[in-house]
Structure 1
């Protein structure tokens, strides 16, 4: 297989963030700096990851903690990937900065996420991610990788996976009997290690998809945000359009009414200047939900709340913190 490096920098595309999709996520340290000073840092990151996976009903098929970046292969079931990653990275960055008495950003501002065709590339992605420590020289043999605590491979073979049901799902791709499946999985990794030039699966688009499946038609539809052939791309882009329509269906009146009821305030009072705490919280949450989750325009929200468009953006950040810190709120909105 041919190895491809990153393509030239291009304008940022909007993420495809729909629950149920398989996503290969790479989060890098700012300026390629290390994001783990020691094993205590790595342990904290894993605890946060494990807790969030359970709390948000998100599946993790593979993971690897490298010195200056992390790989995650995720399938969010309910929460969006964006919400999951913000909570994971922000929480860890706060811990890291406090522990090491530093300030400022720890991660690059934008993690990389590629939507992947689950049926076609799940196993290739698991192998690619789990071999990362070995290919980087962190460990030197597959036997060492078997015991390496900062990669999902050891957890998979030692039955310490985040979720026993998901572990069974992964192994079922290799055989029905667990012992046979484990042997075949390990052989699968060994075969990937023997490849002189592994496929680069850190991105989507035409070149990477064709590197995995040269038989695909060169004229197929491709998208840089997607690892998959034309049929998958077309279906996914159609799903994305339907998801956007679904999100935007919730009008501002409904959002105002639902938030006002939660905080026990009069919806009409939100259009007036008022610094009372519940009013301020209501406005902030409305800005977050309407702007970030349901795609309403900042100017439209600003007019309804007697704010400026920039004020809506500032309030949305406060609203996100309110949303993340209030479990009742998250439960109230998770199915909408």
Structure 2
């Protein structure tokens, strides 16, 4: 069964999850976690998107992401590609770091925003890694930033606390009480979408058997009306993502678009390959989040040549809209 396109539109809330390949660790050291968070921080500052909750565990991560001018696909592409390259270099390894595609579920704000925020921030507690009382001192979870906001914080504390009270003191108390209520709750349904999870389980679906059938979608956690509205907004915004998920996929699609022999884009510098290589350099830096140096390494060229190639690729894209055409292939 072909994978479904991602859903996204300005203002959408996403529960984003990703794991290490074969369950392996993706955060072995503090430096890995610091690198990941620094990249999140940098990307959020470059656009109007927001992170409302987050948690880094040894082999997976959770983000509660709200789309702004920058779409989810672009944000995650730059975040994960840049982090994987840096991680592999730091740990002297090769190959894929993450297991398949990251998972993203659009969630209905009124019904699921607060439960999801709680679920994400309680991850270390429910994994019996740390107690709720000590969680505020655990630096790899957004809960820490609610108590100790700093210049490196990913979350805007006042935005989160605004859901709990008018004053900071009352909001903090209400927030902690809300987390305490979730300690014994099974909230596994918040990791996916679809009719069953959105309805509260099979028993609730069966109970509603005689009622009008609701619309469901595995990419959405919310009511039938919300699912319908999401699909309509995505269709109108034309942002059902089908962009590159990896460097390898990008190379293959560029080679296919230019009718080049597969696997030679990185190797050949002949006239036939020049435009395709420039488009690759531009896309690698501007769309995938690589540095100019990293993009140059991919094509085995010097930094100065890579920089010139990015500029050429930008001019080609403006004139021919190559990447837009590739996405429609």
Could you give the per-residue CA deviations for residues 154-200 of structure 1, whole angstroms, max 9, x where no partner exists?
11122347367x422211111101110011000000000033x3343
CA 1:245–1:87: 2 relative to 1, 3 Å: closer
CA 1:136–1:317: 2 relative to 1, 3 Å: farther
CA 1:230–1:109: 2 relative to 1, 3 Å: same
Q: Distance in 1 between matches of 2:280 and 2:198?
A: 37
Q: Distance in 2 between matches of 1:27 and 1:186?
A: 26
Aligned to 1:126: 117
Count of aligned positions = 268
Quick one: higher RCO (CA 8 Å, sep 6+), 1 or 2? 2
Greater shift in the superposed pair: 317-326 or 21-30: 317-326
SS of aligned partner of 1:110: coil
1:308 to 259, 267, 281: 259
Q: Distance in 2 between matches of 1:172 and 1:244?
A: 32
- Map residues 307-326 of structure 1 onto 2, 5 A cutoff: 307-308=258-259, 315=276, 317-324=280-287
Q: For the aligned residues, what is the CA RMSD? A: 3.4
Aligned to 1:180: 170
Shift of 1:206: 1.3
SS of aligned partner of 2:14: strand
Q: Distance in 2 between matches of 1:182 and 1:149?
A: 18
Unaligned runs of 5+ in 2: 242-249, 266-275, 293-309, 325-329
Could you give the per-residue CA deviations for residues 180-223 of structure 1, whole angstroms, max 9, x where no partner exists?
0011000000000033x334311111121122895995621110
1:116 to 100, 104, 107: 107
Q: Distance in 2 between matches of 1:322 and 1:29?
A: 24
- 2:128 is equivalent to residue 137 of structure 1: yes
- Map residues 243-322 of structure 1 onto 2, 5 A cutoff: 243-244=237-238, 302=257, 307-308=258-259, 315=276, 317-322=280-285
Q: Distance in 2 between matches of 1:66 and 1:163?
A: 16
Q: Distance in 2 between matches of 1:12 and 1:245?
A: 16
2:196 to 182, 207, 223: 207
Aligned to 1:66: 57
SS of aligned partner of 1:193: coil
Shift of 1:317: 4.7
Could you give the per-residue CA deviations for residues 125-174 of structure 1, whole angstroms, max 9, x where no partner exists?
100000001111221x111212111000111122347367x422211111
Q: Distance in 1 between matches of 2:158 and 2:112?
A: 18
Unaligned runs of 5+ in 1: 1-9, 248-287, 293-297
1:239 to 198, 217, 233: 233
- 2:179 is equivalent to residue 189 of structure 1: yes
Shift of 1:60: 0.2
TM-score by length of structure 1 reads: 0.70
